[in-house]
Structure 1
């Protein structure tokens, strides 16, 4: 089974940014570190299940750090433009779908669940997001110690599923004990990526 990730899903992020390194016209560079709270990413299988419908699952990630590198040019005291590269990783916490799915999600791979030990557990793997953005930023009080700024950016976003491995949640032992010919679980591995148009709003305060 192949899953196609929808990279257009928004990823919320909070970043500690330094702003422009100087107010004079000219080039500047910066490296920023922050923390982000990813939203769930929707995935749809390319093949239908036995009920004639595709699998629709939501991939939920753990909160994690984020990093950015920026190269900018101070056009004037108030205006600057930037090229920004970003990286946002996040380990998989759960893969879940709706009640209409033939299989409703993924559990920890390779675990034989029983009535006495029914816990699903989490699949393994991660989703990583890479962005390349062009930003236009307006410095509101460029000559002040505290300088609020606002801006917008457009670019591309690539989302990569890195070896997500999990067990179908609804496969449990039935009848005799599991054997290699009659396994009590079925695992799924997902490796995929997708690239899409991206945009962002920017707001912050730079401290000189």
Structure 2
């Protein structure tokens, strides 16, 4: 079931990426590599058979892993993961007075399907560089008991190749455009494997079976080789040049500024009067080109402010049309917080920067 889920996640990511025309720059796009390390918290193990039928506890251990993956630019990622985890025996039930020792080491190769959850794209919430993710994985594991003892007088040793699966939940933080730090939790489990219990019930080695369940917390770093290319919206069509007027038209006002409330794109009563003046100037000067450019202050991310500036330009255009200016004569654009009327530091609420400029040509 986990194999099917991982395949569906990866397959859906490919199809959705091919259907997209714009790549969200917050999502991983293209190849990446990663490495992580952390703690391994092995569940209690109870072998079955070979005389080793008792419960054992293991010390908290360590895990190291590396990944090679591909991001599809839409939140989905597929990756190949190699890992090794190791834990020492702490105690075995019923072995009071007998020395305990040995360890369990597990090598694994997993195929993972993951999905990054962008709060800005999905919910309109500023992420400040943080992005949660979830995923599942399936693959191969080789648990190896290194003389784990004492299980009712027996020592468990040996290795076996088994099917493994895992669930992943974590959060990443972008420290640079192509570098992310990942904090992850994994639940890692395997099918039951067969190992050797010695000396065994008959005095010789006998098989014993057990599965592995492990919980890990890791901190890692991921390097993405390609920065996502954001598709540019097509430029507005350029209207044909107006015919030459029979006589020089009287000079009219050609530039207007409309101001907005913080984080708003609504047209106020004062702004409506300015837009009406611009509409009157269009008719008085026989002008046929109107450029509306939206701006913001410096509060919030560049991406959020770009979208807000475009909304402000669109709101002014809608009011111009309502005042009788033909839609075909108006072009709009947004420049976010990149062209300030009043220069300020980042995250400063400056009313004069929250504006839209109307230029008549």
Q: TM-score of the superposition, structure 2-length normalised?
A: 0.36
Aligned equivalent of 2:65: 68
Q: Which of 107, 110, 113 is residue 130 of structure 1 equivalent to?
A: 107
Deviations 1:77-103 (A, max 9, x none): 31110111111100101122xxxxxxx
Verify the 8 A CA contact 1:77 1:142 in the aligned structure 2: no
RMSD: 2.3
Q: Which of 35, 39, 45 is residue 39 of structure 2 equivalent to?
A: 35
Aligned equivalent of 2:77: 80
Verify the 8 A CA contact 1:23 1:142 in the aligned structure 2: no
Report the more deviating stretch, 142-151 or 125-134: 142-151
CA distance in 1, matches of 2:151, 2:142: 26
More strand by share: 1
User: Structure 1 stretches (4+) deviating beyond 3 angstroms?
Assistant: 165-168
- The number of aligned residues is 142
More helix by share: 2
CA distance in 2, matches of 1:43, 1:166: 12
SS at match of 2:87: coil
Distance 1:155 1:142, change over 3 A: farther
Q: Which runs of 5+ in 1 are unaligned?
A: 1-21, 47-53, 97-104, 108-119, 169-186
User: Could you say which structure has the greater relative contact order, defined with CA pairs below 8 angstroms and 6 or more residues apart?
Assistant: 1
CA distance in 1, matches of 2:150, 2:115: 46
SS at match of 1:57: coil
CA distance in 1, matches of 2:54, 2:33: 40
Larger radius of gyration: 2
Q: TM-score of the superposition, structure 1-length normalised?
A: 0.61
